[in-house]
Amino acid sequence: MRTFWVLYTARMDGEGGDDQAALFARVKMIGQEFEGGRIPIRSLDELGRYQALVLAAAAAQWREIHDEDDLPEDFASQLDLVLSDIEDGSAVSLLERPHATPYDSFYEYGRTVVEQQIALASAESPEADVISLLAYKEFRDLGSSLRDDERMEIVAPSSHAGGVSDVVTITPEISRRIRQNLAPKFKKLLKPPRHTEYGWIVGRLTAINADEQNYTISTDTYGSINGRYKSEEILDDLKAVLDSSERAPVVRFYGRLRFVGERLDRILDVSVVQVLEIDGEPWSRRFIELASLEEDWDDEYPESKVVSFTALDGARAILQFVQSHGISQPGIFPTVSGGVSLEWATSSEVLTIEITEEAEFQLFHLTQGTTAVNVTTQTITEAYGFIGEHLQT
């Protein structure tokens, strides 16, 4: 039974500036179909897969060394292996790179990784489940063109003169093991874990399907999310929200959320529906940002709460008051306790109004050279008076 050999080669500059071929790898196809110097078309796919895998492993090494920088534009095209000759006897085909490149060390590294991972896939080892090249279809399909009486051997040139090169072998049995055993396990390892948790989610309610007991909201963080409800009271709340505005209203739900990895996949059930009145004023965009904050939003305060809609309603009333009196708009900030802080500050004066999640107003004023004033009230008119007393239009 004759053999079909393939030589992957690279051109290097020889002495005097002449180019000379340098062996990159030998891919030897063994089987009756390869007798007489024949090259079945189906076997050419294996050569393409091998080259693609060398390039993938080389690219991964580049990114690791260069801190995930983008690959050079010519990184892939420089690995341009060409079929230059077919030798007599055992149909030895020569594949050459036209010229040396600055990336040759990466291509050689990629070749080594491919050989190591093929050898690992051939072994009955638990480490075979985490072969990185399983992420590529070319590796999962490697050897798939082989028939039962055929095999493929890959031989890299020895790194030292007179050395013995390692040989990695792919058989139909190994190819099936890659596709049917290793690939599914690898896919499962990569699949992000699912988990459920209770929490808040904010978005615009865009659709309700009462027959299917589901709805759709559009969120800034997760995109379009589908959700379900079980209570007829929740359905009534959803309908009331959707009917309350010509535009899709901003809502916040509390319920059971299903995540896939870090991505919100679905809202499984809802127990609380809150609507945020958006009035088209200068602060409306900021209100949506605050309402969209999730629990633990402040890295320095891991138990920071979502911003209360009650606090936002109180802040809106204050902002409408200062707008109507020609007073400059304050900075608008969330508090870790679930409230909203409105802040006016200059080099000589600070005035803040913090609206808590219980709709309490905490008033503070400090002018350079004076004693700070602190007042707490649940009466918004007192907050208006505080502003009128300490801020000028």
Specify the pLDDT at position 268.
93
Q: Exposed, middle or buried, 246 (CB in 10 Å: 0-12/13-18/19+)?
A: exposed
Query: How far apart are the C-alpha atoms of 318 and 295, rounded to whole Å?
Result: 25
Specify the pLDDT at position 340.
97
Domain 193-276: CATH superfamily is Nucleic acid-binding proteins (2.40.50.140)
- 142-146, 210-214, 247-251: lowest mean pLDDT where? 247-251
Summary mean pLDDT of the chain = 84
Is a pLDDT exceeding 90 seen at residue 40? no
Residue 346, SS3 per DSSP? coil
Angle at 294 between CA 291 and CA 300, to 5 degrees: 115
Is a pLDDT exceeding 50 seen at residue 323? yes
Local confidence band at 13 (pLDDT 50, 70, 90 cut-offs) = very low
Nearest alpha-carbon partner for 129 in 185, 180, 179: 185
The span from the first CA to the last CA of the chain, in angstroms, equals 98
Specify the pLDDT at position 60.
92
The predicted model gives 8-19 an average pLDDT of: 47
pLDDT digits (tens, 9 = 90+) for 117-147: 999 998 877 777 779 999 999 999 999 999 9
Q: Are strands 92-96 and 3-13 parallel, antiparallel or unpaired?
A: parallel
For residue 145, the Cα-to-chain-centroid distance in whole angstroms is 34
Report whether 85 contacts 94 (CB < 8 A). yes
The Cβ-side half-sphere exposure at 194, using a 13 Å CA radius, reads 6
Query: How far apart are the C-alpha atoms of 31 and 170, rounded to whole Å?
Result: 13
Is a pLDDT exceeding 50 seen at residue 18? no
Query: How far apart are the C-alpha atoms of 342 and 363, rounded to whole Å?
Result: 10
Q: Where are the domains of the chain?
A: 3-190, 193-276, 298-393
Is a pLDDT exceeding 70 seen at residue 201? yes
More confidently predicted of 83 and 26: 26
Same fold, 193-276 and 298-393: no
Specify the pLDDT at position 77.
87
Give the number of other Cβ atoms within 10 Å of residue 260's Cβ.
13
Angle at 201 between CA 198 and CA 203, to 5 degrees: 160
Specify the pLDDT at position 118.
93
More confidently predicted of 2 and 324: 324
Specify the pLDDT at position 37.
63
The predicted model gives 233-244 an average pLDDT of: 82
H or E segment to which residue 117 belongs: helix 104-122
- CATH number of the 298-393 domain: 3.30.720
Q: Which long-range contacts (CB under 8 A, 24 or more apart) does 132-137 make?
A: 132/60, 133/53, 133/56, 133/57, 134/178, 134/182, 134/183, 134/186, 135/186, 135/190, 136/52, 136/53, 136/56
Query: How far apart are the C-alpha atoms of 142 and 179, rounded to whole Å?
Result: 9
Give percent of the chain with pLDDT exceeding 70: 85
pLDDT digits (tens, 9 = 90+) for 251-279: 888 999 999 888 899 999 999 988 887 76
The Cβ-side half-sphere exposure at 262, using a 13 Å CA radius, reads 1
